[in-house]
A and B are shown apart, each in its own frame.
Chain A
Amino acid sequence: MSKRSRNIKARKTNLPPVKNTAAVGGLNSLMNSFFLFIISLFLLLIIISINSDFFNGRVVAYWDAFQEQKSELDLESRKIERFGSSYAVSKQIADFIKTKHRSDVVLMPSTAYFNANGIDYHVPEPAVFYYFTSVKTIWQNCKSGCNANWFVYANNGRLGIDTIQNKAVLDSVLKVFNKYETSL
């Protein structure tokens, strides 16, 4: 209600006119801010409830995870938590290869091969495998010549690693591996 209309109304009802002092202005401003604060709280609740899946799955869950993570700062455990079995199994393979103290290349079958043989292992591509382990690998469908010294295979649900001694071994290994498609 404007000042003029308030004065007219006050004259009609024989009440003294409202004086627009600084105190009244300050009080109005404070009331307005508080009113807007309440509105903003409601608006925030509405936005959060509309995006509740995101908020619970990404923000609240991550805050809960933070409570545990802040005391667990070991690099290896952070990598295993993030990359899962892909990292852990790759490290096991690499640890074995590194004990041989040779600069070797490992022939890796596809993820589909391992899954078909009961092993839950997503095979990282050579660049990622190198990032994880510092060991060089190639896939079975390599176009630039398979110069591998080792190959990894599945044996009754377990991983096996063996050497490639000659071209005949390589061909027989590739014949088995190439039955399965490679995927990233």
Chain B
Amino acid sequence: MSLLIIILLTLSQFLLGYALLSLFNIVIKPWLSIAASVLLGIAVYSLVPFVMELLHIRLTSLNIFSALALLTVILLAIRIKRMINGLVFLGKNISFRLKLYEIPFVAVIAFMIFVSAWRCFYYPPTARDFTSGAEVIAEYAVKEKTMVNSVFSVNLESTNNQFKPPYLTCLQIIYKYAGFPFGQIWLSSIFLFFTHCRKVKILIFATPFGEIPP
């Protein structure tokens, strides 16, 4: 079930991002456009609950997912013809060829990504920057349906993390509503599609030191 939700969220992020690429008439290589679309989609997702909060709309799951769906439809509708042509072009030109000598590296990298994603799903976040800022605000935003919540009535002399930009808080809220009690899965999506934008050789050497949470 969780896997299905991740796939659906990623698909909707792709659509939202691809609509933005079409809107600005940005033409890039097929695989790169998929990765860029998902990353763009995640970026737009990270703004939606914040904008809703500014408009004094309650942050219920229905409101948030309706707003995301509405935004996707509006962006798709603006340049619908260009977007359909782009998707058809993408479908015709996309190809996936893996050479024999690439298989061992791809297998190891896929294994590491899986382990990393599992830990993002299984464990709550531990970084103090996160638990005393974005995470606690998101947790109580889900409970109290607003980002201006009871966290700000707690003694916050020991931290300034509550003043950090609300992008991560917004993503945490969306993913908590989507059924992931600890959010965080967006981190694996960003990692996967960001590294896809890079060359494989960078991925091979960068991955062991960067991504898997302790």
Binding site for B on A (CB under 8 A): 33-34, 36-37, 39-41, 44, 47-48, 51, 54-55, 58-59, 62-63, 66, 69, 75, 78-79, 81-83, 125-128, 130-131, 136-139, 142-144, 182, 184
CA distance A75 to B115 in the complex (A): 19
Please name 17 pairs of A and B residues whose Cβ atoms are closer than 8 Å in the assembled complex, sorted by A: A34-B100, A36-B101, A41-B104, A54-B208, A55-B208, A58-B115, A62-B118, A81-B123, A83-B126, A125-B158, A127-B156, A131-B136, A136-B153, A137-B154, A137-B155, A138-B155, A142-B155
CA distance A37 to B100 in the complex (A): 6
Binds A, one of B77-85, B86-94, B105-113: B105-113
17 A-B pairs besides A78-B123, A131-B131 with CB distance below 8 A are: A37-B100, A40-B102, A40-B103, A40-B104, A47-B204, A58-B212, A62-B115, A62-B118, A62-B212, A81-B123, A82-B124, A127-B159, A128-B128, A136-B155, A137-B155, A139-B155, A144-B155
Q: How far is the CB of A77 from chain B (nearest CB, A)?
A: 11
- Taking the complex as formed, is B209 at the interface, i.e. its CB lies under 8 A from any CB of chain A? yes
Which residues of B are found within 8 Å of A63, using beta-carbon distances?
111, 115
Whether A51 pairs with B122 at a CB distance below 8 angstroms is no
Asked whether A144 and B157 contact (CB < 8 A) given A54-B209, A127-B162, the answer is yes
How many residues on B have C-beta within 8 angstroms of the other chain's C-beta atoms? Answer: 40
Closest 8 interchain pairs by CB?
Answer: A36-B101, A131-B136, A127-B132, A40-B101, A125-B158, A33-B100, A126-B155, A37-B101
Whether A33 pairs with B99 at a CB distance below 8 angstroms is yes
- A66, A130, A143: the one contacting B136 at CB < 8 Å is A130
Q: How far is the CB of A53 from chain B (nearest CB, A)?
A: 10
- A36, A44, A83, A130: the one contacting B154 at CB < 8 Å is A130
Asked whether A131 and B104 contact (CB < 8 A) given A62-B119, A66-B115, the answer is no
Q: How far is the CB of B160 from chain A (nearest CB, A)?
A: 10
Whether B100 pairs with A36 at a CB distance below 8 angstroms is yes
Considering the complex, give the chain A residue whose CB is closest to the CB of B211. A58
Whether A128 pairs with B111 at a CB distance below 8 angstroms is no
Whether A130 pairs with B99 at a CB distance below 8 angstroms is no
CA distance A37 to B112 in the complex (A): 20
Q: Which of A126, A136, A143, A182 has the most CB of B within 10 A?
A: A126
Whether B118 pairs with A66 at a CB distance below 8 angstroms is yes
Considering the complex, give the chain B residue whose CB is closest to the CB of A129. B154
CA distance A41 to B108 in the complex (A): 11
Whether A125 pairs with B159 at a CB distance below 8 angstroms is yes
Identify which of residues 129-151 in chain B touch chain A, using a CB-to-CB cut-off of 8 Å. Answer: 131-133, 135-136, 139, 151
Which residues of A are found within 8 Å of B99, using beta-carbon distances?
33, 36
